Structure 1
Amino acid sequence: MIEEYRGVWVFIEQNDGEIEGVSLELLGAGRKLADKLEVPLAGVLLGEGIRELYSKLIGYGADIVYCIDHPVLRDYRTESYMKGVNYLAEKYKPEIFLFGATPNGKDLASAIATDLSTGLTADTTMLDVDVEKRLLEASRPAFGGNIMATILCKKHRPQMATVRPKVMKALPFDATRQGEIIEETIDLSEETMRTKVLEIVKDVTKNAKLADAHVIVCGGKGMGDAAGFQLIHDLAETIGASVGGTRDVIEAGWLPHELQIGQTGETVTPKIYFAIGISGAIQHVVGMKNSELIIAINKDPNAAIFEVATYGIVGDALEIVPKLIEQFKEQQKSMGGELNYA
């Protein structure tokens, strides 16, 4: 019975005792949903030696922490984590269950949804609830990013969604919050696991650097061609920024895929974001709209990018960007060094 299911859950992804940022972001989003539905917000934490993380999750918004501490759960594997999470979900029956849209989060969420015979909305960028019907409204770009689709799971529970990193906001940590810790045990044996973790190799890619950048200069098809796009590189080099591009730019071969920003690329939240020669299609906007300050340059005064921009410049980017570069260089000379974005 659907009525038996209550509560909002967030799967807490942790690696080597460090909570992934997307999990804290989802606690912030989950807190809003739980408050609207007037139910507790719970964090679901699996691993080995994880007890020191309990209070941190409470401080970031959880009312309850469901946890399983077991040596077999030291490293992520679909089989062992699915057994643990399924046990908790079947016992406590959450009505909403959120996962980060990370490689591990997407892998686990799809396995859980299959095992529990429920629906899963992938790569969502907006969350809300219909309080009267108690339905999760999970929205994501569709049809190549041209529209936003809101997906409902009316007949099955829990209602599940994976959410892209960087699109939600974590709450400030509150050390005074109090919550409930529920530690569970399950029967797990390394000998019964079908996969073994032999070695973990950490890969630091350009993609990760782009996600962590404080300043990004992103160019679109409005730069004309590869020669025009070189101005994006020139501006980024002048101000010490990272370079990104829209899907059109990637498909044109002006940048490698790992530098794409948008629904099918990277989601970023820099302090300053330059959107140059970019129309503002939903597919791109969902990947950068949470930037602290957005500066848009486009010769079309009605371009959709101006709707999310903090400041807009109407004009030809091929004429404006060289002038910006000149002004930034003059500023650098007057300051005697690199620009400071703190």
Structure 2
Amino acid sequence: MTPLSTLVEQLGAQEAAADERLQGLGRAVLQVEADAVAALAGRIDAAFSRACHHLLACRGRVIVTGMGKSGHIGSKVAATLASTGTPAFFVHPGEASHGDLGMITADDAVVALSNSGETDEINAIVPLIRRLGVPLVALTGNPGSTLAREASVHLDIGVEQEACPLGLAPTASTTAALAMGDALAVALLDARGFTAEDFARSHPGGRLGRRLLLHIEDVMQTGERVPRVGPQTPLRDALLEISRKGLGMTAVVDEQEQVLGIFTDGDLRRALDRGTDIHATRIEAVMTAAPQTAAAQLLAAEAAERMERFRINALLVVDDAGRLVGALNMHDLLRAGVV
């Protein structure tokens, strides 16, 4: 009978061998796909430029189409184009033959993805696309295919092998198609002068959109919610104002609402450490004079960076004349999703 310890050792060795095989396959897949993408760089030529010019000249929308796995890639390519300044949407080629072809107009351009270039559903609608007179940019792995021959421009996305060990599942070929789609989108982005602010306007719900679109005036506290006291106010009363407004500070302003200073929780701790009498002391004696301020039109993200740089938790917001118009603290920025 084989000792239990020997069985455990054998099982452990089998598991280690299985793990090594899994890891080896993972590395091999990544290498095959990396090689496939790297090979595309040598195919960025005059055809790529012509494809870009066709898409730049499009007065309508770029219609992206593809079947099966190429369809999934095409959907992502359409989304990337749309979010980077090239209006685009995906049309399923099977549905196109049953009415959705009406989505394509004479002002549009079409990008078709098919690794074989012989996808029946796509080739069935090519004559109708050509009849509309719209440019057809084909991404295939077969330059001699029907789709490649019929296209206005053909971009070769062929790969030497799939990463699938059976050579069957679309892997390296779909990665290559995705990379070429990204190359088109980024080239068009640059040609259009598309900026980070433009990108943010397409992504108002995302973190970048909030950082580039939200201004201080969109998130600051205003009116009666802003704590403020005069310079002669006893420290005791200033503390009551801070407690009522809940911002952890109060502005100190003159009769014209000009900002003279700020008094924060930190100032209170320092005052108490010095043994300050909160009943007899006026706020002007313990406030921080000439505090950091910001204009309401400043980006909220810039306000967050300023607060981090000066290690403060609040900013007073002033107009061009230095009058108090609002207040902003880190909690306001957190609620707005800026930080």
Question: More strand by proportion, 1 or 2?
Answer: 1
TM-score by length of 1: 0.28
Q: By percentage of residues, which structure has more helix?
A: 2
Larger Rg over CA atoms? 2
Q: TM-score, normalised by structure 2?
A: 0.28
